[in-house]
Structure 1
Amino acid sequence: MTSTVEPVGESLAGLPRFPMARAAGCPFDPPPTAVTKQKEAALSRVGLWDGSTPWMVTRYAEQRALLADPRVSADINRPGYPLQTPLPPGGGSASFILMDDPEHARLRRMVTAPFAIKRVEALRPAVQTIVDELIDDMLAGPKPVDLVDAFALPVPSLVICELLGVPYGDHDFFQDNSQIVIKRDTEPEQRVAAQRALLGYLDELMGEKIAAPADDLLSGLAERVKAGELTRSEAAQMGVLLLIAGHETTANMIALGTLALLEHPGQLALLRDSDDPKLVASAVEELLRYLNIVHNGRRRVALEDIEIGGELIRAGEGLIMANDVANRDPDAFPEPDRLDIERDARHHVAFGFGVHQCLGQPLARLELQVVYSTLYRRIPTLRLAADLDQIPFKHDGSVYGVYELPVTW
């Protein structure tokens, strides 16, 4: 069967295809075409798989302005929304991240408390234990080892399972189906089947939490279902979102961040040899800026005419915030192509901006801080067990990273 999503980088009616191809040998850098477009203008037209030609927003200031603008919608079902893939019959996902206020705010508030900074910080000892035990297992086992399979994927999966109340023993099921959902070239039928499998799984779990609540996030949603504040379907959908986002993004940052540091040994040594938590936190922010694993941009559609960046965006026109290149905007980050873990990069847009910015960012930051302050200190001779050009990068997904990362010591 022929895929409905065309390859990365192909042109459409003279416009560059989005998402764009990265340069061979430069896996950490944004696509060269996007960098060129950023130099030319804040906004430019691109072509999508379905023949639409939305605006690509490449510059930092314009991205933040539009992400905070109430005249811009995140509703995937609005005409003109720049779709990543075809919508299934009946419309798009019911996930609150693809809704506008007030419904977005109503649903988001129901899961905000567990991700509050103080609540997340209380998890640090438990996350540290998970990280140390996984490193113990690696050190006791054979080498080389695939860091993705042995460490990067289990860390956030164990954490989010504990937080949500999902049995970690089911990790193969939800990890496999998550991969199908987020791959850009998955056939529509396969994607719908994977989404339904995950939704059915979370719906069954929700039923168990309704009958016998525990001290976890899903049980909190179950109580709202019983109170009539949520439907069971809405609660299950929220569970799917939190489960996928809670392990995929951080897992890729752990592996890709480690690879970037191994390719920048001076920065790795600076981080490894320091016991300053402020430097560790700074390294996390800089790696989030430098790598930017949200691969397909943040998608929006204009509700009204908007003048910005020397262009007029018409109501109903799609917008793609190319966050990877915005985080390399020299007006926001001097020497943007240099990895500098001592840089103050906290104003990056890796987590988005505005009311839709990432709900789980405090948890992601904590996990990355624990990982980056522990892994290289405990395995100081960690190194790649393959050449960089042999590493399989995720050029085919909406989340960027590596499929495997063979390492030894």
Structure 2
Amino acid sequence: MSETGTGAQTQSGSLTRFLLAILPKTSAGRKLAAGAAVDSIGSGMFLAASTLYFVTVVGLPAAQVGMVLSVAGIVGLLSPVPLGRLADRTGPTKVYVALLAARGIGYAGFALVDSFWPYAILTCLLTALDRGCSPLQQVVVGLIEGGGNQTRTMASIRSVRNIGLTVGFLLAGAVLATEHRAAFAALFLGNSLTFFVIAVVVERLRRKTAVTDRKAEPAKAAADPAPTHIRSPFRDLRFMLFTVSNGVLSLHDSVLFVLLPLWLTTATTAPASGVSVLLAINTVLTVLLQVYVAKFAETTARALKLIWAALLPLLLSCGAFVGAEHVSVWPAVAFAVLAVVLLTVGENLHSVAVWNLSYEMVPTAARARYLAAFSLGVTGQQIVGPVLMTAVMLPLGSIGWALLAVLFALAALAVRATGGPRTEPGPVSAVPSAPTPTEVTR
């Protein structure tokens, strides 16, 4: 066999081993991950091409498009909680599948949009459905996978989503190059189809899980305590403190996607082209790290310890960002790379830990509405974070990074103090313990 053939086989074998390493352990988990991969390819295509299409092809003013996206963000902030309440009453998986189908129909409708109001109404409606789906995904994975595999499966989904988004970005490049309306319409329809693919996958898994649950229902009914009243998550002080502190700790997201490009070009001597390289480093590391670090959050106790492990690289990244501001070009590049690597490690450790903690501490009977309320902390960060990064962090320079480090430390302390399962009586949700081992969705 030629050396070329041997090399190709070696590369193929390495790729196969890598995919097996990041995929979930169970058949159901692998199906969920495959659906998420298809879903994220559609997301990548839409995110890369939609704004340009509505401005350059449809002819909407850029200011109007920006205004609609801002209003849609506010609508999306309000939608998860009522959808979570609906899911608790009628079944999380049923509502999740219905939302996926509705989003599939809605995103196909973008191919028909040719004026402002249809674009505005459809964008606001779909943003509300998108945000409502996000916390439901965690509930659905928990119901289908069970506690022993939930964290790994959620980590796998995040990994394959990053791969899928990258593929979608590349596929959208071909459409952007043509700038032909029919090509954009095909892109929208392709994105729409991905929602129906994952809806079918989840529905089949739901039916299979329902059959298993019916067989176990007599024993479960005998073991479960009588249901008691569940208070609103917004009246649960400990839970809301956990939600807010997690939102503050999630500021690493705004650092990466809002502050980093501006900071690199205005506060350092590093070349502006380095932004894309740094973002690529983040994407690749996320794919490689998510599943690996998930094994360190298989129990609540380990997830709580993981918050400390996440805090250390986040604090060190702030120091590396400061260092990049006070050196010449190539040392600045090195410091920037180090800062992004540390930030990415902290981000991945944090996200894996809070998947477990948020799932563990919510009442079983109100899991969807509680996790919907929990998602508001991250959404709030997405609203407040960009303003904080551009109006405070960037002008303050090194002092701004010190301030961010203090915020990270205080938020981590609060997450540690408020996270984890409850000790008080009442129906408490817990990922079932096991000797071995949590936006795509969008």
* Structure number having the greater helix percentage: 2
TM-score by length of 2: 0.27
Relative to total residues, which structure has the larger strand share, 1 or 2? 1
